[in-house]
Copies of this chain bind each other. A is one copy, B any other.
Amino acid sequence: MSDPLVISVDAMGGDHGPSVILPGVAQASAMLGANVRFLLHGDAEQLAAAIRQTPGLLSISEIRPSLGVIPMDAKPAHAMRRGKGTSMWNAVESVKAGEAGAAVSAGNTGALMAISRLALRMIDDLDRPALVANWPTLAGVTSVLDVGANIVCDAQRLVEFAIMGTAYHRAAHKVAQPTVGLLNVGTEHEKGHEEVREADRLLRRLMGDINYHGFVEGDDIAKGAVDVVITDGFTGNVALKTAEGLARFFRAELRATLTANLVAKLGAFVASGALRQMSERLNPSTINGGPFLGLNGVVVKSHGGADARGVANAIRLAANLGGSDIIAEVTRTLARRTPPSVAPLKERTIA
């Protein structure tokens, strides 16, 4: 890893491209200080013009010209075959080459994952990167994984998520010994399907490495009952999107309520400062940035629609991870886990 820390940025990605990414880099730089520098991958002319609009960027960043952008709707296989030399591809290549400690892109998620796997390879015998959601809770933030990359998961995969989630939460959110909960439909040992019961048994044997709390239920996420919640990518994706949908529903109800009549409007006006603070606290952008865990390198996906502050937060997350020894830690703990006691899910009948 380089010193100062270098972050490689796909400056063309996302819904808005450089017009939002570059101000995001500038905001991130203000948060991170002068010891973090940036490689900006993208169209040379566009970036040179944009940098002139963003004071201060010139001295801490370097433009890396690239050709073309991977479309937001491109298929991952297509991106792998045809994406070479694009801003996203080169952003990841900089990590592979050891020039940067982390890469950030707001581009196409599937393409970014495919290119990252190809360029950086998975740690050890891991299969696909795990996606993490940084979930706002009553207690702060909980890391939930996997939220969509690994649709069918056996017990070993869930244990891998616990190992990666622990290292991630420690690096990203500065908690020394994060507690880990395994998502289930109840907290008693006999609850759930065979995969979660087997994972529960395996995790109890990893107690020295994982601060394992046992099963948790859906409502424990928002409570912040544990620091890390692990689950298969199908369940995690549904839980995350269900929560996003409910948050939108709640905001719509609140808006309708506070504009229903003149008296409500007056009350909302008087309370507007407090309501704005709340909306700020619940804004997903405050914790924008979804890392791909399990790669031999740090790659963070920023929401395609994130604003400059969201981009800055994704970059700060990448800096936290890039400046940590998360990959060495995951590699070490993976080596210590109990070897699979059952055949992988693919080859096995489930009860």
Q: How far is the CA of A261 from the CA of B240 in the complex (A)?
A: 32
Q: How far is the CA of A74 from the CA of B88 in the complex (A)?
A: 57
When distances are taken between beta carbons in the complex, the residues of chain B under 8 Å from A31 are: none
- With an 8 A cutoff between CB atoms, is A175 at the interface? no
Do B249 and A274 touch across chains, with their CB atoms under 8 A apart? no
Q: Which of A241-273 contact B (CB under 8 A)?
A: 241-250, 252-254, 256-258, 260-261, 263-264, 266-273
Name A152's contact: one of B148, B241, B254, B350 (CB within 8 Å). Answer: B350
**Within the complex, what minimum Cβ distance (angstroms) separates A321 from chain B?**
25
**Within the complex, what minimum Cβ distance (angstroms) separates A268 from chain B?**
6
When distances are taken between beta carbons in the complex, the residues of chain B under 8 Å from A185 are: 148, 151, 233-234, 237-238
Do B281 and A272 touch across chains, with their CB atoms under 8 A apart? no
Q: How far is the CA of A271 from the CA of B261 in the complex (A)?
A: 9
- With an 8 A cutoff between CB atoms, is A220 at the interface? yes
Question: Which residue of chain B has its CB nearest to the CB of A218?
Answer: B241
Q: Which of A209-244 contact B (CB under 8 A)?
A: 217-223, 231, 233-235, 237-244
- With an 8 A cutoff between CB atoms, is A333 at the interface? no
Do A239 and B218 touch across chains, with their CB atoms under 8 A apart? yes
Q: How far is the CA of A254 from the CA of B281 in the complex (A)?
A: 11
Name A271's contact: one of B137, B245, B263, B278 (CB within 8 Å). Answer: B263
Do A245 and B270 touch across chains, with their CB atoms under 8 A apart? no
Instruction: Please tell me which stretch of A46-54, A77-85, A340-348 contacts chain B, meaning at least 4 of its Cβ atoms lie within 8 angstroms of it.
Output: A340-348
Name A263's contact: one of B218, B223, B270, B350 (CB within 8 Å). Answer: B270
Q: How far is the CA of A296 from the CA of B267 in the complex (A)?
A: 52
Number of interface residues of A (CB under 8 A): 65
Do B272 and A267 touch across chains, with their CB atoms under 8 A apart? yes
- With an 8 A cutoff between CB atoms, is A193 at the interface? yes
Name A274's contact: one of B234, B261, B272 (CB within 8 Å). Answer: B261
- With an 8 A cutoff between CB atoms, is A1 at the interface? no
Interface set of A (CB-CB < 8 Å, partner B):
137-138, 148, 151-152, 183, 185, 192-193, 217-223, 231, 233-235, 237-250, 252-254, 256-258, 260-261, 263-264, 266-275, 277-278, 281-282, 345-351
For this complex, 27 residue pairs linking A to B, each with C-beta atoms less than 8 Å apart, are A138-B249, A151-B192, A152-B193, A152-B350, A185-B233, A185-B238, A193-B234, A218-B238, A218-B243, A221-B245, A221-B246, A222-B248, A223-B249, A238-B238, A243-B243, A243-B246, A250-B250, A253-B282, A257-B277, A257-B278, A264-B270, A264-B273, A264-B275, A345-B350, A346-B351, A348-B349, A349-B349
A-B pairs, top 8 by smallest CB distance, nearest first, are A267-B271, A218-B241, A219-B245, A267-B270, A218-B242, A264-B274, A222-B245, A222-B249
